[in-house]
Amino acid sequence: MNFWDTSAFIEAHDRLSPVFVRALGLLRQKTLQAASALIQPEAIATMTRRLKPDDAAVDAACDLIRNSLAHLDLLAVDGAVLESSMEIARRTGLKGSDSIHLATALIAAREMGRRSFVFLTLDRAMGTAARNRGLRVVLG
């Protein structure tokens, strides 16, 4: 399973990114692709901020992101995720949204098995926190 955080997912949609080709290749892999449901508003907000004030570019990018999101298994932000994310935030100092992504990934890895689980991020702090919890991290 490839588990995406927003920082990595966005780069698979930004042709100007230095990791675009690698990220897009990972997104196109024939493996289960998953993310926290939180990725939806974060990805749209990020692309909107990057491309404003060009409304046509924003609309095109948001359509592309929505299409890609439809191919991800989006995991709910439920009580277990929130409880775990609070502990992660307290221990690591990660932002709340990052702690939610990592908590969701840890729960998914526990359920899927860590052997085939890959956590995709470009955020150094989140990558370090994920590695410290035994996840294999790619891109960051």
Tell whether the model's pLDDT for residue 113 goes beyond 90.
no
Query: What pTM, to 2 d.p., does this model score?
Result: 0.94
Taking domain 2-138, whether its CATH number is 3.40.50.1010 is answered by yes
Tell whether the model's pLDDT for residue 140 goes beyond 70.
no
Q: What is the pLDDT of residues 41-86, one digit of tens each?
A: 999 999 999 999 999 999 999 999 999 999 999 999 999 999 999 9
Q: What is the pLDDT of residues 125-134, one digit of tens each?
A: 999 999 999 9
Tell whether the model's pLDDT for residue 114 goes beyond 80.
yes
CB 100 within 8 A of CB 77: yes
Tell whether the model's pLDDT for residue 17 goes beyond 70.
yes
Tell whether the model's pLDDT for residue 35 goes beyond 80.
yes
Tell whether the model's pLDDT for residue 18 goes beyond 70.
yes
Write the DSSP string, the chain: -EEE-HHHHHHTT-TTSTTHHHHHHHHTSSS-EEEETTHHHHHHHHHHHHHTT-HHHHHHHHHHHHHHHTTSEEEP--HHHHHHHHHHHHHH---HHHHHHHHHHHHHHHHH-GGG-EEE---HHHHHHHHHTT-EEE--
Tell whether the model's pLDDT for residue 116 goes beyond 80.
yes
Domain ranges of the chain: 2-138
Tell whether the model's pLDDT for residue 115 goes beyond 80.
yes
Query: What is residue 48's predicted lDDT score, i.e. its pLDDT?
Result: 95
Query: What is residue 24's predicted lDDT score, i.e. its pLDDT?
Result: 96
